[in-house]
Structure 1
Amino acid sequence: MTLLSARGLTAGYGPLKVLEGIDLDVNEGEIVVMLGANGAGKTTTMRAISGVIARHGEITFGGHNIQKVGPDAIVRAGIVQVPQGRGTFPELSVEDNMRAGAYVRRDGSGAVQADIAKWFELFPRLAERRTQRAGSLSGGEQQMLAIARALMSRPRLLLCDEPSMGLAPLITQELFQIIERLNRDEGLSVLLVEQNANLAMHMASRVYLLETGRIVASGTAAEIGADDTIRKAYLGF
């Protein structure tokens, strides 16, 4: 079943048009990967879906049109973004960062605290550092915190923008294993932007390839990986 659908999506920054009318779907329970060079429009796509920049076209989520819905309401609907660069609150503790992720919820402090405990089990490093300032964490730990904070809003769709940026390969593999576990065990749908095409392809249900604001190829990971022309021209392996 289709969870997120975008049709003719255009977006940009002031007079600069970045997206040229893309069509994109994420189904329930999928990990969908967007690949492309820097400047292709991947982050802009994420921001447009999240409602933080002006966009045109049609966007539906769970069967409801969210084209004119603001960012807070989009989070309440079940879409949350882990932005490029992590975006944690450096002066707040790990636990307070996670609590901040629940700002849209109305189910009481007990339920919020229960979710903090749940995600500390998934991220034991964060549990060990729960009172530590977020700004003092390593890059990998900050990325884990950014994901944990996003999970506190109880999303149906997680938008992850370049989670491996600046991280060591072993930490990247650990993060990707966590994303796969969330997808498998929690039924969380994921739209992932990632420069590490080889690693991302191994976890993807489907792949979209962007070039200068347009989708130039899409298909299952197996289909995209089997196309020698696409692999050599766009994926680098």
Structure 2
Amino acid sequence: MLLTKFTHACVRLEQEGRVLVLDPGVFSETAQALAGAHAVLITHEHPDHIDQGAVVAALEANPELPLYAPAVVAAALRGAAPAAAGQIHDAAAGDTFTVAGFAIRCFGGQHALIHSSIPVVANVGYLVDGSVYHPGDSLTVPAGVEVGTLLVPVHAPWSKVAEVIDFVVSVRALRAFQIHDGLLNETGLSFTESHIGRIGAQYGTEYRHLAPLESVEV
């Protein structure tokens, strides 16, 4: 499977001519990520994870393009693109389904807490083909799963580096790449990643930084 990292939280997975896109948000190269997509997964409603205008345009341009998202996101998209309502499906923790030939398992259910005064929104983490795990904006460990490739939200208003390291150590994936890095400059990113890489390696996880638009076989 070919994984391409886009800026911030978006990734594109390609296998045997099939393309799955996760979290094409406003900080990402959304049009490029969605080009030729066969399915789209959205973890939650925040705009850095869904560029609604671009996603609606993609749905309307391709009546065969399915999208899965938490119910509140799916409902908003149906309202914005009524002609594409049949392409838009709810996803929740515990769900399993196959889309565009990719087997999907859903985990989590809630966005990580930002602050007690800010309501917690729905968030679904997706495990793709039993191997690649995108947690969205959460540090939910997928119970009972041996993850091959972990996508690590390395920085967010809701996290600290100790929590991120504990997440990596708990999942114990074979390899890990960063997501949710769009708010860090190079100095902050290298500082955070040095800790994740060093400590993760002690527990068997090989951590590697991917530049925007860089691809890797997983």
Note whether the superposition's TM-score is higher than 0.5: no
- Greater RCO, CA 8 A, separation 6+: 1
Q: TM-score, normalised by structure 1?
A: 0.33
Structure with greater helix share of residues:
1
Q: TM-score, normalised by structure 2?
A: 0.35
Q: Max radius of gyration: which structure? A: 1
